[in-house]
Structure 1
Amino acid sequence: MTMPAPGETVLTHHDADARLTTRPDVSVVIPCKNEAENLPELIGEIAAALAGRRFEIIVVDDGSTDATPAVIRELMRDRPWLRSMRDTRSSGQSAAVRTGLLAARGDVVLTIDGDGQNNPDFMPAMLDALEQGGPQTALVAGQRLKRTDSGAKRMASRFANRLRGAILKDGTRDSGCGLKAIRREVFLLFPYFDGWHRYLPALTIREGYKVAHVDVVDRNRRHGTSKYGILDRGLVGALDLFGVWWLIRRRKNIPAPTEVTIDGR
């Protein structure tokens, strides 16, 4: 049996039956590929960070070829709030995030990368920012400070974020941060394409909602190496950027209809 992380609550079977019938307020989506060594600690940290809230965690396995499926199944044995979706072939990070969002039962969804670099301790602050922003604030995006990535990766990300910001004007300096909080009902309005997870702020604004930001500090990856390269993201990113710009340009007005009643009220 996998031991719980410090602060993590592990339920008895009696408690589990009660929790399984309770709809969570918050769903956490973890897209991952070959992260067997990082997931146990990360899941424990998330559970500790959200203690006192009704939550579920959904791990989306994007075609892992290591022990990730077995590790997840073992963790699920005494964690009824832990769910998993698995694709036998890799479809990419955007597809994995979307799979988790579609499966989520909470009204609010938190996303976090599966490599352990995003710190779950910032999750409560992100939920607070979403609540304080009111119903018109549909997305809270993490903004990384003191990034721990390689110099080449930081440089490429900085260039991409500046170019995206200049063209899309979404007010977000770091759209690639995996730590985000989003109202699920708004997510369901977004058009989907591969690479879509990097444009959530712009797509949120396109639907007439507001975006808030929370500064976060990433950590060093504990195990393994990144599964996503710089070159493949850069080549496809130019087309994605143009596509999102086109989508924004093609929407002139945000409909705001009201239902008509017989008595006119």
Structure 2
Amino acid sequence: MTATPPELAVVVPVKNEAGNILALVEEIHAALEGKVEFEVIYVDDGSTDATPAKLAEAKQRFPRLRSVRHRFSCGQSQAIATAVKAARAPLVAMLDGDGQNDPADIPSMLERWRAEPEETRSKLLIAGWRANRKDTASRRWASKAANAIRVACLKDDTPDTGCGSKLFSRDLFLDMPRFDHMHRYLPALTIRAGGSVVSVKVNHRPRGAGASNYSNLRRALVGVPDLLGVMWLMRRSRNPVVENQS
């Protein structure tokens, strides 16, 4: 392991994903080895299965991997926030822990971020777009409907905010307001901060093992108050233009 400070932190929130830990960690390393200096940070959000043991096993093989554990489950958004806070790298790539996001997409997302003018990178979000989703028909329909409603209300012009594959600066994320389920609104929150969003098509795969922690009904029930809250945040935002500093 090199002593060079990492440029990129790959953050992965997990809850009861023991069957997916080793395969995904291996894929992350295979995708990034020799292309960028990176670290991998897993946050175990109060798992009750063998996730802690599998993370310990993975750390024996992959020194770049670090893990943090929530004693009690606090939700995916808080797990992501914990991982970003723990990161040493200034740039963050986010993946879901179920294996459906493909780590092989990260290098192209990184190149797209680097292609942006340096003065705008700090407030740029690269958002994955699952153009060919490998989910059930009911989940695809629910996601399509939710995306249409969200775009109409928030004007975030993002076709797929639910995709876990995202890349952004650590400072941008840490400057955002945090609340439960905020990870679903990162494009709108980026625009609220005066930034921009670029959507890129990414690979999507069937779940590796285990079962989803979410259902369509649960997503819908929490989605309405979340959407109203983000609409309020968007209306109340102000982004000053600083001209002189001494």
TM-score class, shorter: over 0.9
> In structure 1, what is the equivalent of residue 30 of structure 2?
48
Which digits, 9 at most, give the CA deviation of each residue in 1:228-264, with x for residues without a partner? 222122111111111111111112x411214434xxx
> In structure 2, what is the equivalent of residue 22 of structure 1?
4
> Cα 1:238–1:75, aligned 2, differ >3 Å: closer, same or farther?
same
Secondary structure at 2:61 match in 1: coil
Does residue 1:87 correspond to 2:70, yes or no?
Answer: yes
Secondary structure at 1:86 match in 2: strand
Secondary structure at 1:233 match in 2: helix
Query: Which of 35, 38, 62 is the equivalent residue of 2:20?
Result: 38
> In structure 2, what is the equivalent of residue 173 of structure 1?
159
> In structure 1, what is the equivalent of residue 137 of structure 2?
151
Q: Tell me how large the CA RMSD over aligned residues is.
A: 1.2
Give 1:22 deviation, angstroms.
Answer: 3.1
Does residue 1:115 correspond to 2:115, yes or no?
Answer: no
Q: Which residue identity does 2:24 align to in structure 1?
A: L
> In structure 1, what is the equivalent of residue 209 of structure 2?
223
Percent identity over paired residues: 49
1:1-265 superposed matches below 5 A: 16=1, 19=2, 21-52=3-34, 53-134=36-117, 135-137=119-121, 138-251=124-237, 253-261=238-246
The whole-number CA distance in structure 1 between the counterparts of 2:154 and 2:245 is 36
Contact 2:159-2:199 within 8 A present in 1 as well:
no
Which digits, 9 at most, give the CA deviation of each residue in 1:178-233, with x for residues without a partner? 00001111111100010100000000011111111110120111211111222122
Q: Which residue identity does 2:200 align to in structure 1?
A: V
Task: State which structure, 1 or 2, has the greater radius of gyration over its C-alpha atoms.
Answer: 1
> In structure 2, what is the equivalent of residue 6 of structure 1?
none
Give 1:149 deviation, angstroms.
Answer: 1.1
Secondary structure at 1:83 match in 2: strand
Which digits, 9 at most, give the CA deviation of each residue in 1:115-142, with x for residues without a partner? 0011111101111111112342421000
TM-score, structure 1 normalization: 0.88
Detail structure 1 runs of 4+ shifted over 3 Å in the superposition. 258-261
> In structure 2, what is the equivalent of residue 9 of structure 1?
none
Secondary structure at 1:146 match in 2: coil
The whole-number CA distance in structure 2 between the counterparts of 1:206 and 1:38 is 35
Which digits, 9 at most, give the CA deviation of each residue in 1:43-102, with x for residues without a partner? 111111111211000011011111110110111123221000101221111111111111
> In structure 2, what is the equivalent of residue 11 of structure 1?
none
Unaligned runs of 5+ in 2: none
Secondary structure at 1:217 match in 2: coil
Q: Which residue identity does 2:108 align to in structure 1?
A: A
Q: Which residue identity does 2:90 align to in structure 1?
A: D
Which digits, 9 at most, give the CA deviation of each residue in 1:3-43, with x for residues without a partner? xxxxxxxxxxxxx4xx3x43210000001111111110111
The whole-number CA distance in structure 2 between the counterparts of 1:65 and 1:55 is 29
Contact 1:133-1:212 within 8 A present in 2 as well:
no
- Which structure has more RCO (C-alpha within 8 Å, separation ≥ 6)? 2
The whole-number CA distance in structure 2 between the counterparts of 1:174 and 1:115 is 18
